């Protein structure tokens, strides 16, 4: 036990996860200035996400509600958490979200990709996914996977994701 | 940052992962006693796995070699690591392995399922997977996923895994 124990005790989960305050402006965003301020879209890997604001975002796309306690735990134990924000002056609004689980070495699996309906059709989902891929690649993850609902298979295909490569099948086990 | 930081600093990765010394004997194993001792098969979630022994196991099924540094990291950051051993007297031999990544809340993804060729066709792969499912279920994970090579799709289907449920597609992104 000594070997693994010493590995674990020197490893804080938060250190090895690629969290950062880094953000950037999507090229082409910031158009359509309002009378208050020019809105800008930016991305972040910070995990400081108001769970109620996230729930509101997921409600907006019609997802079933999940216990916030479990959502908090899932965010805490995801390898990468990406959020997309609209900023107007000092106000910011959560408009997109995605996260990935990973073994920190070979594989990552992307879950819970959501873009607010008001912000769909503007290339922002694509930008969010490119942000995810860039971050995962920067961590040397080479196998990025996901499970796509039928209506978004083409969206992911356009981003370079392959469906069932070499006949590999996504499979699910649910409790009875 | 304060909120998440305090969550993380109170969370040691090793504590929340379902590692244990628990093991059990597969019903029906232990048959065919040798002249040395009755061989027994047991399972463990301990992470104390000799990486060279694991590499030998993966070699035996023809997998490409991977850097041990990365294998070590992947094991360390997997949510669940299951190993299957043959015990003869005080000697034990690694004969199977599987691991799962997870967000510790909703989803788990099983990777690297391997059973030594000498031990295939005896129901041990099935027993290993049942052990994985039982452990993940005991952690309240309800969505267990995997990506199955074509020749093992039926193996997983027999265990209750569904292929592309509701048209959900497994998708992969690899670097160019």
- Searching chain A, which residue's CA lies closest to the CA of residue B146? A171
CB-CB under 8 Å, B137 with A149? no
Cross-chain CB nearest to A73 (options B105, B148, B150):
B105
- Alpha-carbon gap, residue A162 to A156, rounded angstroms: 8
Q: Where are the domains of chain B?
A: 18-150
Instruction: Say if strands B143-148 and B107-115 run parallel, antiparallel, or are unpaired.
Output: parallel
Bridge partners of residue B91, in order along the sequence: B88
CB A36, CB A86: distance < 8 Å: no
Considering only CA atoms, which of B130, B63, B142 is closest in space to residue B102? B142
The token pair that represents B62 in the structure block: 């023809």
The token pair that represents A109 in the structure block: 């699996």
pLDDT digits (tens, 9 = 90+) for A55-106: 999 999 999 999 999 999 999 999 999 999 999 999 999 999 999 999 999 9
CB-CB under 8 Å, A160 with B172? no
Instruction: Say if strands A162-163 and B169-173 run parallel, antiparallel, or are unpaired.
Output: antiparallel
CB-CB under 8 Å, B164 with A169? yes
Residue A107, min C-alpha distance to chain B (Å) = 9
Q: What pLDDT is recorded for position A176?
A: 74
Q: What pLDDT is recorded for position A54?
A: 98
- What is the percentage of chain B residues whose pLDDT exceeds 90? 74
Q: Average pLDDT of each block of 10 consecutive residues along chain B (176 residues)? A: 28 47 51 59 94 98 97 98 96 97 98 98 96 96 96 97 94 89
pLDDT digits (tens, 9 = 90+) for A117-173: 999 999 999 999 999 999 999 999 989 999 999 999 999 999 999 999 999 999 999
CB-CB under 8 Å, B144 with A173? yes
Q: What pLDDT is recorded for position A38?
A: 76
Helix (H, G, I), strand (E, B) or coil at B119: helix
The token pair that represents A134 in the structure block: 């860039």
Cross-chain CB nearest to B111 (options A104, A107, A157):
A107
Q: Look at the block and give the residue holding tokens 């992962």.
A: B17
Cross-chain CB nearest to B13 (options A3, A8, A149):
A8
CATH class for the domain made up of B18-150 = alpha beta
Positions of B annotated as catalytic residues are 156
pLDDT digits (tens, 9 = 90+) for B142-152: 899 999 999 99
Quickly name the fold that domain A20-161 has. Aminopeptidase (3.40.630)
Cross-chain CB nearest to B13 (options A11, A46, A70):
A11
Chain A to chain B Cβ contacts (< 8 Å): 214
CB-CB under 8 Å, B170 with A164? yes
- Alpha-carbon gap, residue B57 to A87, rounded angstroms: 53
- What is the percentage of chain B residues whose pLDDT exceeds 70? 79
Alpha helices by DSSP H, chain B: 2-9, 13-16, 51-60, 68-76, 124-138, 153-158
Residue A32, min C-alpha distance to chain B (Å) = 32
Residue A38, min C-alpha distance to chain B (Å) = 27
Instruction: Say if strands B169-173 and B143-148 run parallel, antiparallel, or are unpaired.
Output: unpaired
Q: What pLDDT is recorded for position A23?
A: 52
CB-CB under 8 Å, B8 with A105? no
Residue B156 neighbours by CB distance under 10 Å? 24
Contacts of B161 in chain A (CB under 8 A): 171-173
């Amino acid at each position: 036990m000594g070997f693994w124990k010493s590995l674990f005790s020197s490893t804080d989960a938060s250190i090895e996860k690629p969290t950062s305050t880094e953000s950037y402006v999507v090229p082409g965003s910031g158009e359509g200035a309002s009378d208050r301020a020019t809105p800008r879209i930016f991305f972040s890997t910070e995990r400081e996400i108001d769970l109620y604001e996230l729930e509101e975002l997921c409600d907006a796309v019609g997802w079933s509600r999940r216990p916030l306690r479990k959502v908090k735990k899932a965010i805490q134990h995801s390898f990468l958490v990406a959020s997309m924000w609209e900023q107007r002056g000092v106000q910011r609004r959560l408009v997109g979200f995605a996260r990935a689980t990973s073994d920190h070495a070979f594989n990552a699996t992307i879950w819970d990709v959501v873009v607010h309906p008001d912000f769909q059709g503007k290339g922002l989902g694509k930008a969010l996914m490119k942000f995810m891929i860039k971050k995962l690649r920067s961590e040397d993850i080479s196998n990025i996977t996901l499970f796509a609902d039928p209506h978004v298979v083409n969206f992911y295909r356009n981003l370079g994701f392959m469906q069932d490569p070499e006949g590999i099948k996504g499979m699910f086990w649910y409790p009875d």
